[in-house]
Amino acid sequence: MRRLAPFRRPQPQVWLWSVSPTKVPVGNFTITVNGSNFHAGSVIQFGGVDLPTTFLSATGLRATGIATAAQVGTSVNIAVVNTGLGGMTSTPVKLAIIAAPPVVVGVSPATATVNTAATRQFTSSVTGSSNTSVTWSVNGTTGGDATVGTISAAGLYTAPAAVPSPAAVTVRATSVANPAISGQSTVTVQLAPPPVVTVAVAPSTASINTGTTKQFSATVTGIASQSVTWSVNNVAGGNATVGTISASGLYTAPAAVPSPASVTIRATSTVSPTSVGAATLTVSPAPGGGVSQGTANLMAGRFLEQAAYGPTPAELAHVNAIGVNAWLDEQFALPETPILNPGGMGMAIVEAQYLNRVATAPDQLRQRVANALGQIIVISANKNIYPDEMVPYLQILSRNAFGNYRTLLDEIAHSSQMGKYLDLANSNKPSGGSAANENFARELMQLFTIGLYQLNPDGSRQLDAQGNPIRAYDQSTVQQVALALTGWTFPGPQANNWENFSGPLVPHDVNHDMRAKTLIGVTLPAGQTTVADMTGVLDCLFNHPNTAPFISTRLIRFIVKSNPTPAYVARVSAVFVDNGSGVRGDLKAVVRAILTDPEARNDVAPPDGGRLKDPIYHAAAFLRALGGSISATNQQAWTFTLMGQTPLTPGSVFGFYSPLYRIPRSTLNGPEFQIYGPTEAVLRGNLFWQILTNPGADFPVDITPFINLAGNTVALIDAVDQTLLYGRMPATMRQSLANAINAQGDNVSRARTAIHLTTLSGFYAVQY
């Protein structure tokens, strides 16, 4: 009996609905088609010829092919064939063949002026060809020559060593793929100006005590002679009032000054008398010189409340021994306390290490400045929730605390952590109705550099004819800066990478808006790269006249006092503009100027002096004063959360509190008062009582020395006064404290009561 072949069901009808794109230029192309009933054996045909086909889905295929010049102006049939038994062919759709786009070569910059023997980098752009290679020439000579200048294969032009007069040459980039196509730039080569003679004095800023010496040196550039003459406050050689300086630059401070005094050391070139370098020197009374020990303690205590997280007994004695200026020199020279990254989900570890660091790190000045910078340039763990998203940012603040503010801005702008927090990462050029993300652009101006209103050098607002403050920029400027900052993404191979915090952001010009942008008095030309536009934005804002007074004011408020006088701001702002050696943004010089300014060192605090301690500072200072600490493994983040200051988690881009907050029913600025209501005040009191009665492993502290004195009320009050208030407790407070102490039944309670009530007083809660 003959066996019949099994019945085979025909394949379903294959359908082809559309092809994308609908037209392709001559050369290699890639198309995708949309339809139904596709399978792994489906093949796209181009004019009846099978193309290499990739199966995407039952409704999508992709293929590559080659269009020829002979097909230009025609429409070729595209069909899909389902191969195999019972296979079928779809009805065709048309694919138009168009001419290849012209090859265009651009050269940037289009015009340039270069001094003799100087260099200028040129870049090329090639469109219409997959081969973007070019050859460079000058005046038609490949690579140039000594007469017209030379140019490297990378586009670096070197002008000739000499020209009789300004001469024009043509720098040309020629397409390797199509040598008939080129782009060019017109370069004017001009005689190099005569050398500029400059004089730099080192150190540019310094602080010394009365009766001591400081060696200065001068470096002259632009001429061979290094000979200079020295003066103090424009007096050649100085005098007994302002100090004297020798022919070799050895300065001797005057024997006495009534309060910290600022003098200017100048070095004048003997060959070019108009070339002068300067250094700013602060002369302070020597520790203990003409003052009582109590007054010296007050001076040292107030200083350490500003320059550290409050004094420890040892640090207080150290400042008394060496003076403010020597202590600053020591702190500037100390290595950074490491900020470790536990990785994973260990944000609680990062918070614990932060609290330990502010209370115990030896580089206290760096900790204080980095914290102030972190309140200006904010990232919060309420969005960046993992250590990789927070620790590198903290390291940037620490690393740049005594560096240059321009460098800090650059590292922050490229930070992948900031890229996430303010959405700079993957902010791309507008497309299809989208817009560049404005978050980072807005805060870069409003909070990190220039503020909202035009400022005078003393930080006061400039006013228009009607007496209204003048805006520093408008929404259009925000949009322009946002466009200039497009094209950055997280590290990785793609043009838009998912969150990756292993390094700084990386540029991708394909996502960058290449149009010209108008900033604040600066225009960024069209065709600039992602990197060039970022540099242009940061340079514009860093050099804006607002930046010095704006940043100086905020640093003063975080470090010394909430209501600095305009004169104080102006003095610090001037140092931000020029550290004495022509350097702008020198944070070491700015910090020194803030801490040694007469207004900071005025130990008779005015009614509007000082600043309210925030919860973390208040607790850290309290523990340091008692010789205690916050352990590295503490679990106290929630304690500070209840008081409005979760470590590393400010509530907004403005920080833990608004920098513009005013004390209720007052005209005074008091930012920290925004998180110091009745509830928070009670919680602080509870925390200090816990530390005194049940410190546990998190707050190791020993009050035995106070317990041993508690049998003598006066001695106990004296000890608490010197430890916490540096001897400035008023008589009325001493009497009230004595009444409370004497009501206790044992020495432990007496000691705890004396310390606790003093800690809660306005004299200790406010940093004077």
Is 93 in the same domain as 136?
no
Nearest to 222 by CA among 162, 271, 189, 266: 271
Query: What's phi and psi for 713, nearest 5 deg?
Result: -60, -45
**Predicted local distance difference test score (pLDDT) of residue 297:** 84
Residue 309 lies in a domain: no
DSSP of 499-554, one letter per residue?
Answer: P--SS--EE-GGGS--S-EE-SS-EEPTT--HHHHHHHHHHHHHTSTTHHHHHHHH
Instruction: Flag whether 422 is in a domain.
Output: yes
CB atoms within 10 A of CB 473: 22
Q: What is the DSSP string of 692-730?
A: HH--TTTS----HHHHHHTTSHHHHHHHHIIIIITT---
Say whether both 159 and 176 belong to one domain.
Answer: yes
Of 284, 311, 336, the position where a domain reaches its end is 284
Q: Is the Cβ–Cβ distance between 489 and 511 less than 8 Å?
A: yes
Same domain, 253 and 268: yes
Q: What is the dihedral of CA 20, 22, 25, 29, to 10 degrees?
A: 20
Which structural domain range is residue 185 located in? 104-190
Q: Helix H segments across 361-492? A: 364-376, 391-399, 405-414, 416-421, 439-446, 475-484
Residue 415's alpha-carbon distances to 13, 294, 350, 419, 443, in angstroms, are: 55, 47, 18, 6, 15
Please say whether the beta carbons of 112 and 189 come within 8 A: no
In a domain, residue 683? The reply is no
Distance CA 282, CA 580 (A): 13
User: Omega before 564 cis (within 30°)?
Assistant: no
Backbone angles phi, psi at 315, to 5 degrees: -70, -35
Pairing verdict, β 213-215 and 250-252: antiparallel
Is 280 a member of any domain? yes
Asked if 331 and 610 touch (Cβ cutoff 8 Å), the reply is: no
Q: Is the dihedral angle over the CA atoms 246, 251, 252, 257 positive or is it negative? A: positive
Residue 410 identity (one-letter amino acid):
D
Residue 353 lies in a domain: no
| Total residues belonging to the chain | 768
Residue 563 lies in a domain: yes
Say how many C-beta atoms besides its own lie within 10 A of residue 742's C-beta: 10
Distances (CA, A) of 143 to 104, 155, 292, 616: 21, 9, 76, 63
> Does 177 lie in the same domain as 65?
no
Q: Which amino acid is at 9?
A: R
88 and 184 inside one domain: no
Would you say 645 and 355 are in contact if contact means Cβ atoms under 8 Å apart? no
Residue 154 and residue 135 share a domain: yes
Find out whether 581 and 201 touch, Cβ atoms under 8 Å.
yes
Total H helices, total E strands in the chain: 22, 37
Question: What's the rounded Cα separation, in Å, for the pair 763 and 741?
Answer: 18
Q: Per the domain annotation, does 604 fall within a domain?
A: no
Identify the pLDDT of residue 287.
57
Longest dimension (CA), the chain: 133
Q: Which of residues 162, 190, 218 is at a domain's end? A: 190
CATH number of the domain that 230 lies in? 2.60.40.1080
Rounded Cα distance between 124 and 95, Å, is 33
Q: Residues 185, 130: one domain?
A: yes
The answer on 481 and 514 residing in a single domain is: yes
If asked whether residues 155 and 222 sit together in one domain, one would say no
Same domain? 207 vs 267: yes
The answer to whether 96 touches 75, Cβ cutoff 8 Å, is: yes
Tokens encoding 416: 């992948």
Average pLDDT per 10 consecutive residues for the chain, totaling 768 residues: 52 94 94 95 96 96 96 96 89 94 93 94 90 94 94 96 89 94 96 86 87 88 90 90 89 78 92 92 68 74 96 92 92 97 95 98 98 98 97 98 98 98 97 93 98 96 94 97 98 94 97 96 96 97 98 98 96 96 96 94 82 97 96 96 96 94 92 94 96 95 95 96 94 96 97 97 93
Q: How many domains does the chain have?
A: 5
Given a contact cutoff of 8 angstroms between Cβ atoms, the answer to whether 447 and 377 are in contact is: yes
Count CB neighbours of 18 within 10 A: 11
CB-side neighbour CA atoms (13 Å) of 317: 3
144 in the same domain as 47: no
Nearest to 88 by CA among 178, 9, 7, 153: 9
Q: 463 and 528, same structural domain?
A: yes
What pLDDT sits at residue 1?
Answer: 46
- The answer to whether residue 291 is domain-embedded is no
CATH number at residue 62: 2.60.40.10
d(C-alpha 749, C-alpha 710), whole Å: 9
| Amino acid, res. 439 | N
DSSP letter for each residue of 734-755: HHHHHHHHHT-SSHHHHHHHHH
Final residue of a structural domain among 284, 314, 344: 284
> What 8-state DSSP symbol labels residue 642?
T
